[in-house]
Structure 1
């Protein structure tokens, strides 16, 4: 009877949850480059919201944003990459650890926003052609919701190593775009960032639209655009584009994604990214799968 009660409680949580305080998400990407088609990444993130998040206000994917839900997250990313190089072959395993806090603060005027994050990257070279590498990354952001569900934020990012990537950026936008951002900052180490985000209902329907823009100004300049169409609160399709002015490997990338909440507590999704390279034959395509569980 106890086992039946626990199973029933779990089933109810997975099928009828309208509020949640924890979210766990995982992602894996298969990377097909001009040099090699056997590389992959995997990532996981856990988020705790300080108050229950109401998932009935709009698209399920944006429930935390629509609720202005302050939170704390931990993330881990694993990557494996090997490719031919002059005199031998690169072979590296990458481990990225991250912690992040976001806060929405009511004021007399508009809600304020602040975030702080830290990521540590350890690249473990597996042969004499690939050296070990370590790097830390710190980021701060401040902003405000200038209109309902419309966030504008600016920030500062510092990286101690060119390949110190953002663990949370990898989960949000994929490995290629995360690496491209790190290369944009490059040896300058310090960067100014800016971004906007908006989610709004489409009048007369149960659909909604979301837009995001971003700018990174470091040794070079990069920008990204992203839009999602929520056909129902549970189902969305999206497209993205990113480009950098830097004269290095990744020049631009475009992508597409689809996400579906099987229940208000369980979601699955898929993504595709096509990245163009410059000054090297490493054009890249990635196919990713992701899943979320809320409770």
Structure 2
């Protein structure tokens, strides 16, 4: 019995201390507080398979896949409950996504394709049930080490079709802002950049991301993360849309910590300000990742 217990403990330590991984599972939950209801919430999960082992020793643990240019395939699911002025809606969003980094004799090329499907189930007569699909394609290149530039096209058959991966990456409030930006214009052009680099003479690194969505309206997003150590990061973000909606801006903050190279926990806060409106919204999120 003691030998079996020792073997199990050694196996667990080997998994949680691993410096390379091929699978990642992450979970997230957000509590939504708006003017008329402080009991709304979401829950999300994503699983990612990398076609080759990801080396987590190259820099910030949170960006190991990006730094390794690791091609992958992901599945995601998001559950949400929303209650406002008598509305009672349960929302389900499913998603699938593939990313590929392709070596060329010039610079590494990048491509991604994703699909999301949203089902909104109204629990009373104040709203009708609906559902919609979303397709997205991106093409880009790493124009410099760890610096990605990409442009894309998104087709949204129904504006309530949220991006399942945007919810997990940026939170439900910003995913809703992006959906309202596209709105009735079912086709949207997107662009984004991403960079991660070491801060010379330190053990720290910095990351930047920018994003643009051009649909019926225009939205842009900015995000930066400071990696105080390879395991610990703090970040800030801002998003704004030209759409005529009450909460047309959202800012946020986050902190993430890898307890081991294979286990991480984090927290986030987003404020989608709309003073005097029932949709004045704040969200608090908790997340966890496990790699093996």
Equivalence for 1:238 = 235
**Aligned in 2, Cα 1:189/1:43: closer, same or farther, shift over 3 Å?**
same
Q: Is the 8 A contact 2:255 2:268 kept in 1?
A: yes
**Aligned partners of 2:275, 2:157: CA distance in 1, in Å?**
25
Q: Are 2:38 and 1:37 aligned?
A: yes
Q: Is the 8 A contact 2:35 2:277 kept in 1?
A: no
Q: Can you list the C-alpha shifts for 1:77-106, whole angstroms capped at 9, x where unaligned?
A: 00000111xxxx100000000000000000
Equivalence for 2:7 = 5
Equivalence for 1:186 = 183
**Aligned partners of 1:219, 1:279: CA distance in 2, in Å?**
25
**Aligned partners of 1:170, 1:176: CA distance in 2, in Å?**
8
Equivalence for 2:73 = 72
Equivalence for 1:142 = 139
**Aligned partners of 1:137, 1:253: CA distance in 2, in Å?**
23
Equivalence for 1:110 = 107
Query: What's the TM-score once normalised by structure 2's chain length?
Result: 0.97
Shift of residue 73, structure 1, vs aligned partner: 0.1
Match of 1:261 among 258, 262, 278: 258
Match of 1:101 among 71, 88, 98: 98
Q: Is the 8 A contact 1:144 1:153 kept in 2?
A: yes
Match of 2:216 among 219, 225, 232: 219
Shift of residue 172, structure 1, vs aligned partner: 0.2
Runs (5+) with no aligned partner, structure 2 = none
Q: Does 143-152 or 244-253 show the bigger shift?
A: 244-253
How big is the alpha-carbon RMSD for the aligned residues of Structure 1 and Structure 2? Answer: 1.1
Match of 1:198 among 174, 195, 198: 195
Equivalence for 2:22 = 21
Shift of residue 10, structure 1, vs aligned partner: 1.6
Match of 1:251 among 248, 252, 256: 248
Moved beyond 6 Å, runs of 4+: none
Shift of residue 6, structure 1, vs aligned partner: 2.8
Q: Can you list the C-alpha shifts for 1:98-139, whole angstroms capped at 9, x where unaligned?
A: 000000000010000000000000000001112111000000
**Aligned partners of 1:25, 1:3: CA distance in 2, in Å?**
28
Shift of residue 3, structure 1, vs aligned partner: 4.8
Equivalence for 1:170 = 167
**Aligned partners of 1:18, 1:169: CA distance in 2, in Å?**
27
Query: What's the TM-score once normalised by structure 1's chain length?
Result: 0.96
Q: Is the 8 A contact 2:192 2:212 kept in 1?
A: yes
SS in 2 for 1:9: helix
**Aligned partners of 2:109, 2:276: CA distance in 1, in Å?**
43
Q: Can you list the C-alpha shifts for 1:204-257, whole angstroms capped at 9, x where unaligned?
A: 001000000000000000000000000000000000000000002430000000
SS in 2 for 1:262: strand
